[in-house]
Chains A and B, each alone.
Chain A
Amino acid sequence: MIELGIETWINFWKSNVCETDWYYRLRQRPDLQIVFVLLVVVLSVSIFAPIISPHDPAVQDLYGKNQWMSADHWFGTDYLGRDLFSRVVCGLQTSMTIAVTTIATTFVIGTMIGSYAGYKGGWVDNVISRVIDVFLAFPSIILALALVTFLDSGILNMILMLVIAQWASFARLMRGQVLVEKNAEYILSACAAGLPGWWILIKHLIPNCIMSVVVLATLELGHVILTISTLSFLGLGLSPSIPEWGSMINAGLDSMRTAPLNVVVPGLSITTVALLFNLAGEGIRDIIDPGTDAEGSLWTF
């Protein structure tokens, strides 16, 4: 009988993770470790937002509106006297819920469609490529604007909207990767060995292509957070009662001359979260493929 004690897991971890190249490169990059730790913090804050926020984000206090930062209100209060810190934390939950769900869904859909098209080739690939072209012909906000007329506001519809706007870029990347890998020697030898097509696709092609899609997904997480806030800034997609950074900035516009915190705090929050995802995405790229890392280049003028 196999003992599945903690020892086994530690050994498994040591032999399968600690000796990989990317683990070694991660050890060399303390800056990246900090980014990942901060991302975990951001994720936890978004999960436990209701517990963390010191005040009810909806409670107004018209006598204490537009306050500066204080011990009670860490980021001050907004134009209706609501606690900005609590609203930012709840806004983080909204953004992260939408962004993570969107990217997870797009990731699965895009990877499946893209790898199938790239692997099958022929008319299947041709049809899928044309469909991808159509969706890429819309700048993502424009596509979202068209969909807004069709979908009511709400978190689920927002996710649906973003998935429709985003899946094509994932599918295109995956298709391109599969096309490149498909002609690699190891795939040819797998074909020559008589392995079935679905086996080659699942066991060889997808695992070898997936990492660049992971990088795209991380970068797109940051991008989607920007898109969400942009749409809600325009008053589209989410009902005004849900605290969201974009709508917070829009609401704070009128009083921003006297109370800049209304626009500065949510804006900095968006920037910070997007920045973390961007740094993480580029970091992952450096770790998987040191070839693209220009830092190590020897030759300079």
Chain B
Amino acid sequence: MDILEVSELNVAFPTRYGLVRASQNVNFSVKEGEICVLVGETGSGKTVIGQAILHLLPQNAKISGSILYAGEEILSISDQKFSRLRGHEISLVPQNPTDSLDPLMRCGQQIAEVLDICGTSREDQLSRTTSILSDLSFSDPELVAASYPHMLSGGMRQRLTTGIALAASPRLLIADEPTKGFDYTARKRTVDMFLDLERMGIDSILMITHDLVFAEMIADTAGVLYSGELVEFGPAADVFSSPLHPYTKGLVAALPKNGMTPMPGMSPGLARLPNGCYFHNRCATPCEENSVHPVMRKVCGRFVRCNRC
């Protein structure tokens, strides 16, 4: 059963340089109980997808397509209706934990706030906050709850933002670049934390990251984004071990364990996308029909957007 089904999602921003098509015809789904990871480089439109699901896009964004959450359309419903889903149905672990915490509010209060809108009583809020914090392996939950965000370390802040996201026990968690700027140890801890979330009643996670190593460690299903398009989507083990799309191949080849072979060229700007295949000029095995824009096709149990496959 799919908890989240995104189909034909298009997001564009009008700017003075023209229309920036941040996301084009994106189709994917997250099944209940699995961790789905979307991988892409900076500017491939991955954050926009998360924001579109949560209705957090700026007002000038032009959005089309459909997003079904548990079989219900959520893209076209009003912000007011949607804000009831936020928190206890779909929740977000933000990209930058340091800037995502209100500097003037005590950490405990920032968790309790979420419980408050769910109608938890004041005494319960306090005990719930403490139990959430100790679940996230904070050694002294009371002290953390009473401190301000600037007193915590980077790793603690991330666990705290995760705690806030979990407070109302959502069914789907969207994590936006949870390992941005982390070193290996911190990344390992984050992996453990996310794998541990199942114990806390979170079963479906949509993870957005540029970190391929992290994605490989954690993902059940994986999608690869390039220039606003999904170019490959399927079971994570298949995608990372035997990539089909040349971009995915290039990414995997660029991993340290595979010899760090860099890919040539740059991705095209989202405002000036070519007509045909976006990856053509960087492709290691270019085909003749590059003027035809490739469509998503099902190949050996996964979806690939390539004219060759």
Contacts and interface: CB of A to CB of B under 8 A. Distances in A.
Question: Is B a genuine binding partner of A?
Answer: yes
Contacts, number: 6
A299 interface: yes
A299 B55 CA distance: 12
6 contacts: A298-B13, A298-B58, A298-B60, A299-B58, A300-B58, A300-B59
A92 B58 CA distance: 47
Contacts of B58: 298-300
* Chain B contact residues: helix, strand, loop or mixed: loop
Contacts of A298: 13, 58, 60
Interface residues on B, range: under 10
B117 to A, nearest CB: 17
Interface in B34-86: 58-60
Size band of the interface chain A makes with B: under 10
Nearest to A28: B16
A85 to B, nearest CB: 44
Contacts of A300: 58-59
A298 B16 CA distance: 13
Nearest to B79: A301
A298 B13 CA distance: 10
The main secondary structure of chain A at its interface with chain B is loop
A298 B11 CA distance: 15
Contacts of B60: 298
A300 B60 CA distance: 9
A76 B58 CA distance: 54
A299 B56 CA distance: 9
A120 to B, nearest CB: 31
A297 to B, nearest CB: 9
Interface in A270-301: 298-300
- Shortest beta-carbon contacts, A-B, top 6: A298-B58, A299-B58, A300-B59, A298-B60, A300-B58, A298-B13
Contacts of B59: 300
Contacts of A299: 58
A293 to B, nearest CB: 14
A296 B58 CA distance: 12
Interface string B11-27: 00100000000000000
A84 to B, nearest CB: 46
A295 B58 CA distance: 14
Nearest to A301: B59
B13 to A, nearest CB: 8
A60 B161 CA distance: 77
A298 B59 CA distance: 8
Nearest to B13: A298
Interface string B119-131: 0000000000000
Nearest to A300: B59
A300 B57 CA distance: 9
A299 B13 CA distance: 12
A218 to B, nearest CB: 27
Nearest to B60: A298
Interface in A139-183: none
Nearest to A299: B58
A38 to B, nearest CB: 27
A300 B61 CA distance: 11
A300 B79 CA distance: 13
A298 B61 CA distance: 9
A298 B58 CA distance: 6
A248 B58 CA distance: 52
Nearest to A298: B58
A299 B59 CA distance: 7
A64 to B, nearest CB: 56
Contacts of B13: 298
